[in-house]
Structure 1
């Protein structure tokens, strides 16, 4: 189970998530209460005790703007919320291919839950996309709302057998992440609001509980799948 703690704004919170066992740390370059810039992110990454996967979150950024932010910050992955260029992901993949530090660049495309989730996911996942993140949509807000989508309605989309890596997001917290995993069987989970004390400030207890509960639920799911097989 890939666990991403997103919306990091300072070294202490990022190190906390790393120590708790997160697989990836997210940094929001898009307009947000948790927005950071490339120089801030670089300083955070340089202060971490060990390397970890890091994802820059972008919305309505051009190719050049994303490249500049990634190169200046040093993040190892890109999360795309929207954009008018349908070839953006493949252009980014080609630009960073083989470059030191970005050999395994992860490209994540976000879709917002709708009744046609299976179609949304299939449309979002071109060959350059490594994973599709399914989030809630509240008004014009792109994420970090703390609102869940209907997991029961999303089951068929998550279990469509497409082979795509699907990440569940939107309103997850330590109390409900196990239910989300057991219902959706996602490849990964992503959390922002659910582990915060306030926007941009993490709760140590909530981060540790979230990671622990996600890992435990994933372990139970794996055991159940082996028994059924």
Structure 2
């Protein structure tokens, strides 16, 4: 693993201005949320333009939560590089979506216990990449770590041959520490580069990427 640059994904981008900032700062991937309940939600119309603008400059990833087949088809037709599944999708469902979409699939898996880490193995064959995230609080109205980090030492139990991206509570201040401690294939940040829910900050994005690059 050492020597390979860490893949950096900035998630929850909604505007062209911020997309440009993320590209200029040198991110590898940009994530767009297509999920009504998220403060980072982007409509299908806006997604089409953002994916086009990203093409050839940075890999685009559309985040969906338990999507139905028509939603998958609609998003896949826009030609993103990745679709990220961030809901309670089963391995069987992930495999079906990958077959139908014809797009690389990233599966986000919430980690709160050793049991959750053991559950990752069921997805390694059906997804192109695994993203580990903090388990949402019990009464959360949407999935994702919601800015919380989890106990990274749980990941020591993971098969070292499984490349994964790390998410959940990452910030410019702990990016380097996270990369050193966990040695992930990549890191994914959303709320850690925001000043309010859904409000990204250019300086925080630049600091996150700079610190992650220095560590990687």
> 3-state SS of the aligned residue for 2:120?
helix
Where does residue 185 of structure 2 map in the other structure?
187
Where does residue 201 of structure 2 map in the other structure?
203
Where does residue 62 of structure 1 map in the other structure?
68
- Give the distance between the partners of 1:46 and 1:144, measured in 2 at CA: 29
- Give the distance between the partners of 2:54 and 2:129, measured in 1 at CA: 25
- Give the distance between the partners of 1:84 and 1:55, measured in 2 at CA: 17
8 Å CA contact retained: 1:76, 1:106: yes
How far the C-alpha of 1:37 sits from its partner, in A, is: 1.5
Matches within 5 A, 1:1-229: 1-30=6-35, 31-48=37-54, 50-71=56-77, 73-83=78-88, 86-97=91-102, 105-116=103-114, 117-125=116-124, 127-136=125-134, 137-139=136-138, 140=140, 141-143=142-144, 145-151=146-152, 153-158=153-158, 160-161=159-160, 163-218=161-216
Q: TM-score, normalised by structure 2?
A: 0.87
How far the C-alpha of 1:138 sits from its partner, in A, is: 2.0
> 3-state SS of the aligned residue for 1:87?
helix
How far the C-alpha of 1:85 sits from its partner, in A, is: 5.3
- Give the distance between the partners of 1:216 and 1:75, measured in 2 at CA: 28
Structure 1: which 5+ runs fail to align? 98-104, 219-229
How far the C-alpha of 1:202 sits from its partner, in A, is: 1.6
Q: CA RMSD in A?
A: 1.9
* Residues 101-145 of structure 1, C-alpha deviations (whole Å, 9 max, x = no match): xxxx321111111222431211222x2311111111223331261
Structure 2: which 5+ runs fail to align? 1-5
